[in-house]
Structure 1
Amino acid sequence: MSTKKTEKPDGTHPEQTEGAPSRRFDGTRPERTGEGPAPVAAVCPGCGGSGPSVRTVAETCADPESRTAGLTDRLARSPGVPSRFDTVLHFIEGMILVAMGAYLARSGLQNDKPVHTIAGSLLAVALFVGTLAVVRGELRERKAVTRGEPRAEVLWRPAHHCSACGAVFYPAGTPWQGALTPEQFQKYVWTEAGYGRQLDKKVKDVALPSAAPTGPGGTHDHA
């Protein structure tokens, strides 16, 4: 609809009547500064809490108080595994013990002490096999964690924790709808990422709610 302008008694025109937005003296229209919709606050489905009491799981785990209280471990994204340096160190320590057993066996041979020879030989063999088993287990665990890390990140990153009731939830209702305890959350994430066998026995025995996940499944690893 066109804008109607009326002439004032002094011969001038009013700036604008109803209709299109007014123009500035330079002929340009004022920019609209309307703001977009405000972000929706995460609301806990367990107690209805929101605001400062609700933070992402990542923020909660980074809080020094959570680390002191053990909450960081209960919400951990993945199991802790020895580093490559630790594995090498364990191998060296094991080989030193094997060498001690071998020295005992050799000493028994030189001094005609068959008991020392037998004991040293058995000790060296047992320590050698045990060291290889430990190193192999650490390598296998580290490989499993690396393989499941992308899936664990997808499930862990969007989760929120409510300090008022202790519930863990996904504000968007996916990949899990409803509230979980920290232990249920850890079991869900670790099992989907392939870490199920590395859960503590206490967490393994925790039952997940009957509600089914709403997102696509991952690499299940039920213990």
Structure 2
Amino acid sequence: MTREESNKPAPCPGCGTSEHVPVERARTDRSGRREDLATRLASGPDHTGGGCTHLAEGIVIAGMAAAAGAYAADDRNLPWLTAVGAVAAVLILVATIAIVRGENRDARRVLAGAAWAAELTGDARYCPGCRGVFSASGSPWSQPVSPERFRLHVWTAAGYGDLLDAKAKAGEPPSP
């Protein structure tokens, strides 16, 4: 085999063409929808974190709840509404802190699994003809699978499969 022949891309096992590209370079599907394909082939969530913004939002909403309680207490001459506003503010702050902690935990999981996800997607190829993903090495799947099944496999193996949307969770993992 000559060097030129060894550099040729392997044909797609589904349709036999060599029109496929690595998943990280796949930009559009046959319909031309760029964002949809990028999301369907993503090796991890693109938005984890944002804790500072959520914390600021929670503080503002809690302040508004406390102020609303104080205003209603003065307006209606019901002093116990001040305590209701304060309790609501505390509950909002507790919920905000729980949300921020959950997002930070998810971000750490995604960061920890990123290397494994990169390894899993290293030889994955997207075939626009089949609208599927296959592994050039033949492992873990030898035939093209849907982008949803591909993403389910990668995210689950990387340790953050529970962060998938409902449509991707409904897909079956790729069969070997």
> 1:87, 1:62 → 2: CA distance?
32
> 2:59, 2:130 → 1: CA distance?
50
* Aligned counterpart in structure 1 of residue 62 of structure 2, from 90, 98, 103: 98
Determine the structure 1 residue equivalent to 2:21. 55
Determine the structure 2 residue equivalent to 1:67. 34
Percentage of matched positions with identical amino acids: 35
Q: How far does the alpha carbon of each residue in 1:132-161 deviate from its partner, in whole angstroms, 9 at most, with x for none?
A: 121111101101100100000001121101
Amino acid at match of 1:158: D
**Count of aligned pairs between the two proteins:** 171
| Superposition map of 1:108-127 within 5 A | 112-114=77-79, 116-127=81-92
Would the alpha carbon gap of residues 62 and 144 (structure 1) be closer, same or farther in structure 2, given more than 3 Å must change? farther
Q: Contact (CA 8 Å) 1:42, 1:54: kept in 2 or not?
A: no
Q: Which runs of 4+ in 1 moved over 6 A?
A: none
User: Which one has a larger percent helix, Structure 1 or Structure 2?
Assistant: 2
Q: TM-score, normalised by structure 2?
A: 0.85
Q: Which has the higher contact order (CA 8 A, sep 6+)?
A: 2
Q: 1:193, CA displacement in angstroms? A: 0.2
Question: Gaps (5+ residues) in structure 2?
Answer: none
Q: TM-score, normalised by structure 1?
A: 0.68
1:41 aligns with 2:9: yes
Question: Gaps (5+ residues) in structure 1?
Answer: 1-34, 213-223
Amino acid at match of 1:60: A
| Superposition map of 1:66-215 within 5 A | 66-68=33-35, 70-83=36-49, 86-107=50-71, 112-114=77-79, 116-209=81-174, 211-212=175-176
Amino acid at match of 1:126: L
